[in-house]
Amino acid sequence: MLSISQQFPAKRAFITGTASGLGRELSLLLAKDGWTIGMCDINENGLQAVKAEVEKQGGQALPYLLDTSNRQQFESVAKDYLAETGGIDLLINNAGVGDGEVFHEYSLDNWDWMVGINQMGVVYGCYFFVPILRKQKSGHIINISSAASFSNAPGMAAYSATKAAVRSLSETLYYELAPLGVKVSVAMPTFFKTNIMKHGKGKMINTARKLVEESGIEADTIAREILAKAAAGKLHIVLPKQARKMFWVARIFPSVFRKQLLKISEKMFKKGIQTKDAKIV
């Protein structure tokens, strides 16, 4: 099997959310193979720090300050990147935020914030690059979703809904672009060590942050597996092993899966999740 770098010798990537976590690790892995990387983030200091790391590893860094929820800004950055590189081989829509709170207490302002970044940020990334991918008849899109896209646990309505939207968008694009030779993958990991919860606003955010910290899975491990499975042509990249088990139980034994989630919901209700954090186990 050819690696992602072997499949695309021009090695032109565009990655959002690169100042830390998964985006940083994906950038560093590609840099070791000499990729030119359009690196985007709202954290300018973090972006510049990762730029230096990418260049040290042998990659070419093209940093862009970008709020992925800003359509006009995203369009401008995409145009600048394409003008610089002449095309794109790998698009990774990675930027995202995590948060949690029971539905009736999560404000509509928070919904707008979550949808703008997690859902529309991915839509914009695809929208502004799909035309050139179609014209080239080559390239690969990797959208970062989450196991929340199929688990839909209580207290995660906004996050799960946006990640399910990313999964659905990816599946549609997979079928639309396959006849043109353009590949699409959607990654659906469970908790791993990253700062996705940094900007969370909901009452359950402390619980979510603890789950991230205690996951024991590093971002670089997730990054390596994503690139390897994308290179193999996988549409659904579900990881780690625990997530794959959840994915298949949810599909094959939905009633069993629902019972597990109902138990979580009952625990949350008994602990008063409406007013304080509750440990989800």
Active site residue: 124, 127, 159, 174, which one? 159
Active site residue 127: no
Query: How is the chain classified by DSSP, letter by letter?
Result: ---HHHH-TT-EEEEES-SSHHHHHHHHHHHTTT-EEEEEES-HHHHHHHHHHHHHTT-EEEEEE--TT-HHHHHHHHHHHHHHHSS-SEEEE---------GGGS-HHHHHHHIIIIIIHHHHHHHHHHHHHHHHT--EEEEE--THHHH--TT-HHHHHHHHHHHHHHHHHHHHHGGGT-EEEEEEE---BSSTTTT--STTHHHHHHHHHTS--BHHHHHHHHHHHHHTT-SEEEESHHHHHHHHHHHH-HHHHHHHHHHHHHHHHHTTTTTS-----
Give the catalytic positions in this structure.
159
